[in-house]
Structure 1
């Protein structure tokens, strides 16, 4: 089976790639396909995130395990596309280069039969040029604590000041 997927850069302008890829390849293979389709070198850290229909981020699936204690995190090279991207769960979030935070919305558009003579992965359609710098992120909520205020009264704080 072949997955037809649209990958959209999180920006005001329309910048996306439509890709065909085999359903059995790993998320690491898909990561490499995305970096090539958008013109990245592919030498930065990246992660996929499962999400719901409203793009609310859930489980992280990183390229490498960067935890100190060897956690039970699932890695891109361990998960095939068919096990994470389905018609019931057709969306993922992809973040490339955690210093720049290039963020993409990934959505399964269709599942079709493999065509003889066609090589996969295949970029079906490319729209828009990648900007020189990633789009700025605007966070919806402001911090609830004013760090410029001095802490004069510890009684209202939710901790024991004599903890040691």
Structure 2
């Protein structure tokens, strides 16, 4: 029986990918960062006026006086290479010829670049989605599936500790 199961998995790798692991943002935090977040003092949420439709605001915190955990790049090594399902909010980066977003950051809460301090790099995922998706509203949560990688990336907008090669991106299904 075990031999049959191994043969099936080798011949049909799609069986492994059929059920992605459901991941919560807290699963991406190492234990020491999780505890530091729990122990963190209240942070002001007054980060200026919103500019609707302007996705150029930075996810980098201008306030270098936040607790150290807010800049953490520490990761959970066991997450590397996992086929996951993760919900979050987009911060658009790059479009294709049809105007669909093929690259964006995924963050755990809406407005991360507008009214609230940005998440730490280990709570930002750079998403590659060659199929592209129209993103008209950064307050509309998305549900993504794909292979998660530990990959420290940095651009003018943000630092991210994870990268996701997305198989599927859709609006988050409300129940």
Q: TM-score range by the shorter chain?
A: under 0.3
TM-score where L is the length of structure 2 = 0.21
Q: Which has the higher contact order (CA 8 A, sep 6+)?
A: 1
TM-score where L is the length of structure 1 = 0.22
**CA radius of gyration, larger in:** 1
More helix by share: 2
